Amino acid sequence: MNLTIDNQLIALDVLRPAWQQPLTVSLGDNAKRRIAESNELIVEVVASGEQVYGVNTGFGQLASVRISDDELAHLQANLVRSHAVGVGEDLGDDIVRLTMLMKVIALARGFSGVRVELVETLCKMINHNIYPRIPSRGSVGASGDLAPLAHMAGALIGEGEVRVNGKVLPAAEALADAGIKPIKLAPKEGLALLNGTQVSTALALAAVFRTENLLAAVMMAGAMSSDAIKGSDTPFDKRIQNVRGHGGQIAVAGVLRDLMHDSEIRASHEGCDHVQDPYSIRCQPQVVGACLDVLRHVCTVLETEANAVTDNPLIFTDTKTVLSGGNFHAEPVALAADYLALAIAEIGALSERRIALLIDSHMSGLPAFLVKQGGLNSGFMMAQVTAAALASENKSHAHPASVDSLPTSANQEDHVSMATFAARRLHTMIDNVADIIAIELLAAAQGIEFHRPGKSSPLIEEVIAELREISPSYEEDRSLSSDIRQVATIVDSGIYCKYASSVLPSLAT
């Protein structure tokens, strides 16, 4: 993908492929002009001797310390070095790439006072797949993602380490190999790089895209489970959804109807005396639809944040004013991530309940634990236990991170968002739910095959055939661990999005 940043809105349908694969980024003429004008005002401020936070003062509680003009470049470099104190495993290249792109988007708005040269250097690093090694832990989400962004900024000045095509190199060496000259930071530039919510937002956006993959897969798994227990598709009738009116519910019911269309199994029990299915089957539109509505709200928040200016102070060239505020506070991201955590937990919880339903012969009408010769074989008994363990674990992960503020910087930063952790923990939850859905897909496929020679819908049969290439029918006890892992990888890949792309925010056209 080739992307020119020129102060336009960068939407989710652009951010998703930027997360998925390398891209080429450049600045448009309008962006260059706005950046240059903003930098000119900073140059004027320095020349005038006016005291401006972060330009010619210390930082945080040291903001009252005036820095002499001959130390201003040193000040910015020291800021980067002192703040590069992250710990833990590295963020993945996909998260780092998205972080770098959003930093370009923010700086290109022309409110940060940096030089065009700095932003273009960041673009060149993206274009040469030079991704700074950024430890994943150490940010409280105010004043922005200081520690992780300091590691990104360090690579720009030729310090620290980077990854290039998976290989770890000293930043100076990687830049030299690519013909990129390290930046010598000018006044305000270190602060503009470190202030900002780009790491938290990148982690949250990646979680959004992965949650879309989960939603598509759980709708397929739910449709399959419905057919496996010979459930009714009447609860998915659009008239029921319309009188309640929630958009997500209406959308999910439509997908379920499409997935189950032309099922021989459904046709085989029309007119039977069965009245109602358990809630995990019957209330899929209401539960999964509510989760889709949460996702859509979160997408709105994060798309705004991805295009936001979140450093400090800000430069307003129209009035020649430098204003100090708090756009670096990542509370919008933290609250959005906490909200999404609830939806992720519920997606997994509903899927686990359907697994429990499938293995219960009294409720499902299928052989106990989905296996012949029960007793000799335990079938899917322990697979459901695994799903239950993962669903329960997610309950703890769903606890809101945003309410857990600890003051920092000698109480100057006395309320923080914890957005980085709020977003990062979503990925553990998503991993858990991908495994749960994988178990349901395998269990539902097994349940449907007990109805042979009857067939499910063409779309569901297509998925069963794909699953059987990975995991044969369960005839006698064997380990399912590898099968679950492989199917979970497919779930997380987004392969099922093609069945629900019209309702997913970053994929809908």
Please list the active-site residues.
Answer: 53
Burial class (CB in 10 A: 0-12, 13-18, 19+), 430: buried
Q: Both ends of the chain: CA-CA distance in Å?
A: 18
Question: Which DSSP string do the residues of 202-239 spell out, in sequence order?
Answer: HHHHHHHHHHHHHHHHHHHHHHHHHHHTT--SGGG-HH
Q: Which amino acid is at 326?
A: G
Residue 55 exposed, middle or buried by CB count within 10 Å (0-12, 13-18, 19+)? buried
Nearest Cα to Cα of residue 347 among 246, 259, 430, 412: 430
Is omega for the bond preceding 453 within 30 degrees of 0, making it cis? Answer: yes
Q: Distance between CA atoms of 98 and 126, rounded to whole angstroms?
A: 10
Token code pair at residue 465? 């055939």
Q: Cα separation of 427 and 489, whole Å? A: 14
Interior CA angle at 178 toward 190 and 194, to 5°?
15
| Contact (Cβ atoms closer than 8 angstroms) between residue 212 and residue 506 | yes
Q: Which amino acid is at 210?
A: R
Angle between helices 93-107 and 146-156 (to 10 degrees): 80
